Amino acid sequence: MSGPHDVLTYDTDNAKLVTPSASTAGQSRTTRRQNCVQVPWPVFLPPMQDSDSRFSSEQRENYNKMPGGRQGTRCLPLVRKWLLQSWKVLFVLLPAVALVLLYNGYIVQQSETHLPQPLVPVHSDQGQNDFQADNSSQNAGINSTKSLSRFIVYSCNKITVCGGWADRQKGIVVTYLIALMMNRKFRIDMPRPCDLQFFLVPNEVDWLMRPGETKGHSIKEIEAIDGHGLNFVDKLLKKGDLSIPEMDADYVVITANMDSVNELKKHPLAKTVPLLSNETSVPEIYRKSLGKLFTLSSGLRKTLDVAMESRSPDTKLVCAQVRMGGAGKDYNDSESFNSMANVENLMDFLSRYNDSTKYRMYFSSDSQKVRTDID
């Protein structure tokens, strides 16, 4: 005995009830499979009334017995059938992808949580509070800052390799001097691994990046690290006005670690920058540049003042810096520099100064474990 679906079905494509016709019955299954595939398709229709004379009483009875809200059929193209079936795969795949992304975010958050913490609690707006007025003396004697419409940005963010603090100071000073030579404003973007303005804030030069500052402006990025940095400076200094294509943007963002102050001093534009006068030595240029750019944040200044006040004039200060480096440490460094065996040797050396009546000790490291062991 034939089932209800063989006697009467709801044609969802045409939105009507149908009975097998001669043409449909005569159509081969092969032809239908080539064009489409019949799949169950739920439709929710009210029961058929006895007064409906379009169908026989047997057809009406079989139709009303169909479960699931009158299960009809629909002829779908093969691609659409595949899409209907693929939701099962997506149902499993999407949660898995979401879990991976959440796990990666957790790892990054944990890594940042275990970074060596600053000496004093700081707030993200501290740098802004410490420096409110817009600096107008960046290019004193050359042009007013208000006339400057373009920027040189020293960048060291989480997706670039910047080197250690010495490399970063080289990059900051050289890009600052280039900004002076090109009569541009200077900015610093260094949010990682510790936001620079937590500890150092603008002194004479307003280098703070404002949120959304670059929106609507042209931007070019330059990576001037190691050999790439030397090639960049060499190409730049061949132009009398430093106007190479890479510098043609409202914001030129440079990641650099090259020590090219001597080369900059030889360029004709150096005469327009008092810092680059021939009478000034390279160490003095670094000292004056960093002094113009930075001063201690209020929090760090308070900590330093407390330390200096508590220091007896009869004690000596003993300092040590240990850079461990290496991937997987608190910082993702490009190479390793020390081992724990070396740290133990350092601790043995420092033990001879373990007399607080004669010595005060200052220690810094990129490894929280080393800092803890020394304490």
* Pairing mode of beta strands 185-189, 37-42: unpaired
Give the whole-angstrom CA distance, residue 245 versus residue 336: 37
Give the whole-angstrom CA distance, residue 226 versus residue 163: 10
* φ, ψ for residue 30, nearest 5 deg: -60, -45
pTM of the model: 0.57
For the chain, what is the radius of gyration of the CA atoms? Answer: 36
- Burial state string for 213-236 with b = 16 or more CB within 10 A and e = fewer than 16: ebeeeeeeebebbeeebeebbeeb
- pLDDT at site 164: 81
Q: Indicate the SS3 state at residue 54.
A: coil
Per the prediction, the chain carries an average pLDDT of: 73
Crossing angle for the helix pair 165-181 and 282-293, nearest 10 degrees? 90
Give the whole-angstrom CA distance, residue 370 versus residue 375: 9
278 pLDDT band, cuts 50/70/90, is confident
Mean pLDDT along residues 340-351: 88
Give the whole-angstrom CA distance, residue 337 versus residue 256: 21
373 pLDDT band, cuts 50/70/90, is confident
* φ, ψ for residue 277, nearest 5 deg: -65, 150
- Using CB atoms within 10 Å of the CB of residue 79, give its burial: 0 to 12 exposed, 13 to 18 middle, 19+ buried: exposed
Residue 140 confidence (pLDDT) above 60: no
Structure tokens at 291: 């002094």
Q: Indicate the SS3 state at residue 77.
A: coil
pLDDT in tens, 317-338: 899 988 887 644 555 555 667 7
- pLDDT at site 103: 56
Q: Which residues contact 38 (CB under 8 A, 6 or more apart)?
A: 32, 73, 74, 75
- Hey, which bits of the chain come out as E strands? 9-11, 16-18, 37-42, 71-76, 151-155, 185-189, 200-202, 219-224, 251-256, 294-296, 316-322, 359-365
Beta-bridge partners for 322: 365
Structure tokens at 217: 């402006």
Q: Which range in 52-56, 72-76, 304-308 is most confidently predicted, on average pLDDT?
A: 304-308
Residue 29 confidence (pLDDT) above 50: no
Q: Do 222 and 255 form a contact (C-beta atoms < 8 A)? A: yes
Residue 67 confidence (pLDDT) above 60: no
Structure tokens at 300: 């760090």
Mean pLDDT along residues 300-306: 91
